[in-house]
Amino acid sequence: MVTMDEVTPGKMTEGYLAKRVQVLKASAFLTSKLFFADPQWLIPNIIAPFIFTLVAFFLFQGQTSGPDFLLYLVLGSGLMGMWGTTIYASANSIGFDRWNGTMESTLAAPMPLSWIALGRVLFNTLQGVLTAVFILVIGLAWFRTGFAIVNPPAFLLASVATFLSLSFFGLLMTTVLLLSRKGGFITNSMEIPVYIATGTMFPVILLPIVYLPFSFLLAPTWGIDAIRLAALPGYVGLPTTYWEDIAIMVVETVAYMALAFFLFRRVEAYAKRIGTLEEY
């Protein structure tokens, strides 16, 4: 039996970055544990994009054929899955602590809330990638099509960049949810509009002109275009080149990041002023 006196004395991690990386890892790890303890929420994230894809497939079937269209379709549904999961899961990343009753314990930690939230969002986006891969595999099997990619390294780069941009977009969404109890509905109602706005299933050029600024402000719009440019032969999308897409996405993602960290500070200051975040 160990007594209190025999417990190893505490020692803190040194270094600005080391501490933050530690928090990031811990938060992502806990989120994964919580996810695997109750993975049922994966279902709606997969079902909605997958059924949208099936509907699209029946519509495509009447009008066109060929492996390029199928790949276009399957890529689009994968991206919808990634989007859906990211938006949904970010909504629940810190929101989860609110209804789990761990908000105070989380806020009491000597570490900015943004880093804790970022850890969660990173895992959630990773889960989005898994959703996307899952939908891709099912889609490829269902439609019995191959997966020949024009430029694999470019495809990989665009995918990773889109992943990161989604993560920071998710972080931004988390602040919205922390500031408003009804943020969940905001993110819910965003789901289909962002599928449209980012060109997951059809080019954004088709949209009414008033919609386009919103489209162009969403970094994944450029990411999706870059991914398709790298994957599909003869793809005609936005008037930008692959590298222009990547550059615009990076700039917008950095802006998301800055805005998210700024808003997190505000959230924390607000929480301290009112004494809690549990009620909001």
Partner 1 sequence: MKSTEAGTGRSLSAGSRLQMAYRVFKGAFFFGRKGLVIWDSWEMWVMQIFITPIAQMGFFAFLSVYLRYPLSETQFIVIGNALQAMSFSAVFAVANITSQDKWQGTLPSTMVTPANRVALFIGRAWFQVLLSALIAAAGLLYAATIFGVSFANADYLGIAAVVMLTAIAMTTFGLLISAVGLYMRTALIVANVFLFVTLLLSGVNFPVSVLPGWLQPVSWAIPLTYGTEAVREAIAGTSLLGLLPLLGWEALDALLVMVAGYAVFAGFESLARRTGRFEEY
Partner 2 sequence: MQTLEVKPADGGPAKWAVSVTGLTREYVTRNFFGGASKKTWALSGVDFQVAPGELFGLIGPNGAGKTTTIKILTTLLTPTGGEAKVFGLDVKKDLYEIRRRIGIVFGGERGLYNRVSAVDNLRYFSDLYGVDPSVARKRIPELLEVVGLADRAGEKVEKYSRGMKQRLHIAKALVHDPELIFLDEPTIGLDPAGARDIRNMVTELKRQGKTILLTTHYMFEAEELCQRIAVISKGKIVALDTPSELKNLVRDVSVIELRTYGATNEYVEALKTLPEVGRVTADLDSEVQDIRIQTPLGADLLSKVVAALPPGAKMIDRTIKEPTLEDAYLRLVEE
Contact residues toward partner 1 (CB under 8 A) are 40, 43-44, 47-48, 51-52, 54-56, 58-64, 182, 185-186, 188-189, 192-193, 195-196, 201-203, 206-207
Amino acid making up residue 83: W
The residue (of 88 and 115) whose beta carbon lies closer to partner 1 is: 88
The crossing angle, in degrees rounded to 10, of helices 152-179 and 242-274 is 20
x-or-dash string of contact with partner 2, 129-158, rule CB under 8 A? ------------------------------
Query: Which span sits near partner 2 by CB under 8 A: 34-42, 136-144, 213-221, 256-264?
Result: 34-42
Q: How far is the CB of 264 from partner 2 (least distance, A)?
A: 14
3-state secondary structure of 76: helix
Query: Which span sits near partner 2 by CB under 8 A: 29-37, 123-131, 162-170, 197-205?
Result: 29-37
Q: How far is the CB of 208 from partner 1 (least distance, A)?
A: 9
Q: Which residues contact 198 (CB under 8 A, 6 or more apart)?
A: 79, 83, 204, 215, 218, 220, 221, 224
Q: Which does 51 bind (CB under 5 to 8 A by kind): partner 1, partner 2, none?
A: partner 1
Q: Which residues contact 195 (CB under 8 A, 6 or more apart)?
A: 52, 80, 83, 84, 201
Q: Which does 273 bind (CB under 5 to 8 A by kind): partner 1, partner 2, none?
A: partner 2
Q: How far is the CB of 34 from partner 1 (least distance, A)?
A: 16
Q: Which residues contact 64 (CB under 8 A, 6 or more apart)?
A: none
Q: Which does 141 bind (CB under 5 to 8 A by kind): partner 2, partner 1, none?
A: none
Q: Which does 22 bind (CB under 5 to 8 A by kind): partner 1, partner 2, none?
A: partner 2
Q: How far is the CB of 64 from partner 1 (least distance, A)?
A: 7
**Cβ of 102: how many Cβ atoms within 10 Å?**
13
Instruction: Check if the beta carbon of residue 119 is closer than 8 Å to that of residue 23.
Output: yes
- Cα–Cα distance measured from residue 199 to residue 195, given in angstroms and rounded to the nearest whole number: 6
- For position 3 contacting partner 2 by CB under 8 A, the verdict is yes
x-or-dash string of contact with partner 2, 50-89, rule CB under 8 A? ----------------------------------------
Residue 134 CA: distances (Å) to CA of 45, 122, 198, 211: 11, 18, 21, 30
- What does the block give as tokens for 254? 């950095």
Q: How far is the CB of 107 from partner 1 (least distance, A)?
A: 25
Backbone angles phi, psi at 73, to 5 degrees: -65, -50
Query: Which span sits near partner 2 by CB under 8 A: 23-31, 50-58, 129-137, 197-205?
Result: 23-31
**Cβ of 72: how many Cβ atoms within 10 Å?**
20
Instruction: Check if the beta carbon of residue 131 is closer than 8 Å to that of residue 82.
Output: yes
What are the residues binding partner 2 (CB under 8 A)? 1-13, 19, 22-23, 25-27, 29-30, 33-34, 37-38, 100-102, 104-111, 116, 271-273, 275-276
